[in-house]
């Protein structure tokens, strides 16, 4: 039997203007673990310098983006570094570093569990506003999201890296910690608490938590996710449909004017159509339209839909290999069954694979749960047979959504990905204009959409090299989508 790898944990310290405390936190952590990362979130003091002198590796944001973005940057580092867990501890010195070995031991016992600190005694000394806000958040997460923890806002946590790979995070500040709990709960991840000590009351000047603004962001996040699940329930859809069509029924019996009666029904259908057909829409499922680029770099992702194609895909693979560019291929299951060897070659050349459903149904938004689940599962099975890999990313056909898509993805622990920019290469075939259009829309973390069969066409072979040259000249670095396999 192959020997199992010992779990490795990366300790990450989000820090903003913590030059007086971060060195002590780093030294405490390094006495227990060798890997300590400080994410300097745009500090204007000497936080980064002090952290390096204390022995930490420093990842710096050029401007302050919020604790959530610092955690997301640390998560990318943990995933890319092959760590099994990410332990976050605040840089202001409030957390007792002796908790680090206890969290590590808990992670070794249960590597798939999300461990959250419980400030059992420390919260008693916190300000009234902090205590009220914490209790409110605890209760809201329990009632609306099913997360039952005594302290949902503690920043000392240990996240399994495999969980982080599956999550699509949107928050940028303190609300991201609640977002992770909600999405981990939805995916069936076990969440448990570990009692910890704090060395001073929450709310001292080193804390950057804004009681009103950040509590409001957390509440908005909880309500949005609750509404998303409510809207997707068949009963809620039926109620909305009935309510908006009652005036039409009344008009049929002469109880109201037809023009007035049509308005709510038309508004309902327009809203539904817009929410289902918009690729960037977030109503029915959290959709990744970009990704957090590693600080200090300008990463960008090329993605190809609708493959594999026996004529086009080999040409694209050769072009990418000559340019030393990795890409992510979203494959249609029936095409995979026709060219399984080509899928294996895509994976062997270091590219990532994603699910683009089995049949690429253009009525994707209209099918029921069973058809939707079958489309996803058959494509997963085809890709696994051909490559030995099981994708965790799904790109729905044409970027359309389905009211059951969120449920299907949660059950399979997958993520929905669309794109930042498209050049509409299925409609237009001018290589220079297409490359220029995509290049103009590029930015760090952008996901660019191209199509396998189109880009491999003889008339289009100039598009990809031109695009790669333009992006490279602007300093962009190419990567596969985070979490893709």
Listed residue (219, 216, 214, 192) closest to 203, CA to CA? 214
Active-site residue set: 305, 451
464-483 residues labelled b (16+ CB within 10 A) or e (exposed): bebbbebbeeeebebbbbbb
DSSP-derived secondary structure letter, 374: H
Q: How far apart are CA 74 and CA 38, in angstroms?
A: 9
CB 285 within 8 A of CB 416: yes
Q: What is the largest CA-CA distance in the chain?
A: 81
Distance CA 430, CA 457 (A): 12
**212 C-beta neighbours (distance < 10 Å), count:** 9
CB 394 within 8 A of CB 354: yes
Note whether 461 and 319 are within 8 A (CB).
yes
> Buried b vs exposed e over 280-294: b needs ≥16 C-beta within 10 Å?
ebbbbbbbbbbbbbb
Under 8 Å between Cβ of 79 and 161: yes
């Amino acid at each position: 039997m192959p020997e199992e790898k010992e779990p490795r944990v990366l300790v990450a310290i989000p820090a903003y203007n913590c030059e007086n405390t971060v060195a002590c936190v780093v030294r405490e952590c390094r006495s227990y673990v060798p890997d300590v990362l400080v994410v300097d979130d745009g500090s204007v003091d000497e936080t980064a310098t002090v952290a390096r002198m204390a022995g930490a590796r420093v990842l710096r944001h050029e401007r302050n983006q919020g604790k959530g973005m610092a955690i997301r940057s640390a998560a990318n580092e943990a995933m890319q570094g092959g760590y099994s867990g990410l332990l976050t501890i605040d840089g202001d010195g409030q957390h007792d570093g002796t908790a680090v070995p206890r969290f590590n031991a808990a992670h070794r016992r249960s590597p798939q569990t999300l461990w959250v600190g419980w400030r059992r005694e420390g919260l008693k000394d916190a300000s009234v506003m902090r205590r009220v806000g914490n209790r409110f958040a605890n209760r809201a997460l329990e009632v609306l999201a099913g997360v039952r923890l005594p302290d949902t806002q503690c920043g000392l946590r240990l996240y399994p890296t495999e969980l982080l790979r599956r999550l699509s995070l949107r928050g940028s500040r303190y609300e991201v910690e609640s977002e992770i709990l909600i999405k981990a709960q939805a995916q069936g991840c076990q969440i448990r608490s570990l009692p910890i000590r704090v060395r001073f009351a929450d709310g001292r000047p080193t804390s950057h938590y804004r009681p009103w603004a950040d509590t409001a962001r957390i509440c908005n996040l909880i309500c949005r996710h609750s509404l998303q699940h409510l809207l997707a329930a068949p009963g809620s859809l039926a109620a909305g449909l009935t309510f908006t069509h009652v005036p039409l029924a009344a008009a049929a019996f002469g109880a109201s004017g037809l023009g007035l009666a049509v308005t709510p029904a038309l508004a309902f259908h327009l809203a539904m159509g817009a929410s289902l057909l918009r690729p960037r829409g977030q109503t029915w499922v959290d959709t990744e339209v970009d990704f957090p680029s590693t600080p200090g770099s300008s990463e960008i992702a090329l993605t190809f839909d609708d493959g594999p194609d026996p004529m086009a895909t080999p040409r694209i693979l050769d072009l990418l290999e000559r340019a030393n560019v990795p890409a992510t291929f979203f494959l249609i299951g029936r095409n995979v069954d026709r060219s399984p060897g080509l899928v294996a070659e895509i994976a062997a050349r270091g590219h990532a694979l994603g699910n683009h459903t089995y049949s690429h149904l253009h009525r994707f938004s209209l099918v029921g749960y069973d058809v939707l689940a079958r489309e996803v599962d058959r494509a997963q099975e085809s890709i696994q047979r051909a490559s030995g890999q099981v994708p965790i990313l799904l790109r729905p056909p044409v970027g359309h959504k389905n009211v059951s898509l969120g449920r299907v993805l949660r059950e399979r622990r997958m993520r929905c990905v669309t794109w930042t920019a498209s050049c509409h290469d299925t409609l237009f075939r001018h290589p220079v204009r297409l490359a220029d259009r995509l290049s103009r829309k590029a930015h760090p973390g952008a996901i660019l959409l191209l199509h396998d069969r189109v880009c491999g066409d003889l008339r289009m072979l100039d598009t990809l090299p031109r695009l790669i040259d333009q992006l490279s000249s602007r300093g962009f670095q190419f990567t596969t989508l985070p979490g893709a396999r």
